[in-house]
Amino acid sequence: MDLLGDWWTPLVLRELVYGSERFDDIQAALGVGRNVLSQRLQRLEKEGLVARRKYQDHPPRHHYLLTEKGRDFFPVLAMIVRWGDRWLDGGKGPPVLLRHKSCGRAIHGEMVCSHCGKKFTRDDIAVETPAGEPITLEDRVSAIARLNASKSRK
């Protein structure tokens, strides 16, 4: 969440998913300050979600492209869009459709089991360690403490 949890980062990724590649286009779509957008794009590049490619020398201009790691964020965005369409549309319907190019139908994010292909909800899952043990509050608190300790050493 440190990387993706601020206000602008998921919106920048959304614009890249929607096909915006140029700094000015992303800025116009989001109405974000140049300094904020520059910081977010630099962080996303540093973390490997975005690649910057020069397309013009004078003045220097770059495309911002999603890497494989960045494209892997798409299901998260699709689920956020689905949630917003259900709970925040005010009865107006979705403002944007995600259309499957192959069949032409509008799609929405769904959670399906990667093994059996069946849909699932929160009620259908168990949260456990890789060894199959339940994850306790103590486990989660310890994990956060380890994460914070490793950050402070950097």
- Residue 93 is assigned to a structural domain of this protein: yes
15 and 59, same domain (yes or no): yes
Report residue 108's pLDDT band, with 50, 70 and 90 as the boundaries. Answer: confident
Residue 52 has pLDDT above 90, yes or no: yes
- Residue 16 is assigned to a structural domain of this protein: yes
Structure token pair of residue 139: 């486990």
Percent of the chain with pLDDT over 70: 98
Give pLDDT, residue 5.
73
Residue 1 has pLDDT above 70, yes or no: no
65 and 96, same domain (yes or no): no
Domain that holds residue 39: 8-71
d(CA 142, CA 151): 14
Give the number of other Cβ atoms within 10 Å of residue 47's Cβ.
15
Total-model pTM? 0.80
Q: Which residue has the higher pLDDT, 51 or 8?
A: 51
Q: Tell me the H-state helices in the chain.
A: 8-18, 23-30, 34-46, 68-71, 74-87, 137-153
Which among 45, 66, 38, 47 has a CA at the least distance from the CA of 3?
Answer: 47
Structure token pair of residue 59: 């003045």
**pLDDT tens digit sequence for 56-101:** 999 989 999 999 999 999 999 999 999 999 999 888 988 889 999 9
Q: Which residues contact 89 (CB under 8 A, 6 or more apart)?
A: 95
